């Protein structure tokens, strides 16, 4: 099928894009990589009179390090993230997650900002974003504001980014000290959305106690979710097998999956979540021991 007719714009600055969005209001939509929006348009699930393509705005396609954070522009592609030496060195969890996304064609076009704004409850980036306590910067008619990861996802395919606002960058704090990471994912076939996905970021103290842990989970609730109770249970504790096992049980209890004829029952997804949180914590522990 072909989409219904729409007006197409390619602004060359964020300011120009904001003018267009303000002018057309709810009748306009931002186009990032198009991996989600274009199929919706072609199948006529949605009809949008005005499309604002952000691909010609250079400031949105940069990766940088600033004040202990990695800053990723909203239009940076999954492929660029996967190939970034800076990201791999500073926050390897992001690199690991990028390799699980779709296939090479998708990674060449899909963007981090576009994926987060689409807010698919089975998307990979949501789990990573939550595990790392990321934050996004958005610009709109009322100025610039920062949204923390815990306040970003509001419902399935719905975020705290409002009409007329543009997500410009995503910031992730660089883990310090003895840190490890893991991304565990079950998929029906290569390149598919997650049946269950779990991202783990872990930092240990000199005594081997958990000083920071982030556990982000995807495809187990109406939005990506953070296992806040499991994280609270782990902080300050020695990371032995019994502690990890209990934390995995707590994390699974924080999910609210739905039965799915394609990807399994809610009971099955909770079970896989528990397994993946345990494996993720164990893998992050193993990797933290490699840090000198």
Instruction: Check pLDDT > 80 for residue 133.
Output: yes
pLDDT attached to residue 66: 96
In the chain, CATH 3.30.465.10 sits at 60-173
| The CATH number of domain 60-173, selected from 3.40.50.300, 3.90.930.12, 3.30.465.10, 3.20.20.140 | 3.30.465.10
Which CATH topology does 178-287 take? Enolase-like; domain 1 (3.30.390)
Token output for 191: 């390149």
Residue 3 confidence (pLDDT) = 83
pLDDT tens readout for residues 138-167: 999 889 999 999 999 999 999 999 999 999
Q: Which residues in the chain are classed under CATH 3.30.43.10?
A: 7-53
CA dihedral 123, 234, 148, 65 (to 10 degrees): -90
Structural contact between residues 80 and 55, judged by C-beta atoms closer than 8 angstroms: no
pLDDT at position 290, please?
76
> What's the pLDDT at 291?
64
| pLDDT for 39 | 86
Which class in CATH covers the domain with range 7-53? alpha beta
Query: Distance of CA 174 to CAs 70, 92, 180, 203, 285, Å?
Result: 7, 10, 12, 11, 17
Residues forming CATH 3.30.390.50 domain(s) in the chain = 178-287
* Segment 162-200, tens digit of pLDDT: 999 999 999 999 999 999 999 999 999 888 889 999 999
β-strand partners of 148: 135
In whole numbers, what is the pLDDT of the chain averaged over residues? Answer: 95
CA dihedral 62, 63, 67, 68 (to 10 degrees): 160
Residue 39 φ then ψ, to 5°: -60, -35
């Amino acid at each position: 099928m072909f989409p219904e007719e729409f007006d197409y714009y390619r602004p060359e600055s964020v300011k120009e894009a904001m003018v267009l969005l303000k002018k057309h209001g709810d009748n306009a939509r931002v186009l990032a990589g198009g991996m989600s929006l274009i199929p919706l348009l072609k199948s006529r699930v949605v009809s949008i009179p005005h499309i604002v393509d952000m691909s010609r705005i250079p400031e949105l396609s940069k990766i940088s390090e600033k004040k202990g954070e990695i800053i990723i522009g909203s239009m940076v592609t999954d492929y660029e993230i996967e190939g970034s030496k800076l990201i791999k060195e500073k926050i390897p969890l992001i690199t690991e997650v990028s390799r699980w996304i779709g296939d090479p064609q998708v990674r060449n076009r899909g963007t981090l900002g576009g994926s987060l704004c689409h807010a698919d409850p089975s998307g990979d980036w949501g789990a990573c974003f939550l595990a790392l306590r990321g934050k996004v910067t958005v610009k709109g008619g009322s100025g610039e504001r920062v949204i923390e990861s815990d306040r970003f996802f509001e419902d399935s395919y719905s975020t705290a980014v409002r009409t007329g606002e543009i997500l410009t960058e995503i910031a992730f704090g660089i883990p310090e000290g003895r840190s490890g990471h893991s991304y565990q994912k079950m998929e029906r076939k290569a390149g598919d959305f997650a049946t269950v996905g779990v991202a783990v970021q872990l930092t240990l103290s000199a005594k081997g106690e958990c000083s920071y842990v982030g556990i982000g989970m995807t495809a187990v609730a109406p939005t990506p979710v953070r296992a806040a109770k499991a994280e609270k249970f782990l902080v300050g504790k020695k990371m032995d097998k019994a502690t990890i096992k209990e934390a995995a049980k707590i994390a699974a209890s924080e999910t609210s999956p739905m039965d799915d004829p394609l990807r399994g029952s809610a009971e099955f997804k909770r079970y896989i979540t528990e397994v993946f949180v345990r494996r993720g914590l164990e893998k992050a522990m193993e990797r933290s021991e490699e840090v000198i």
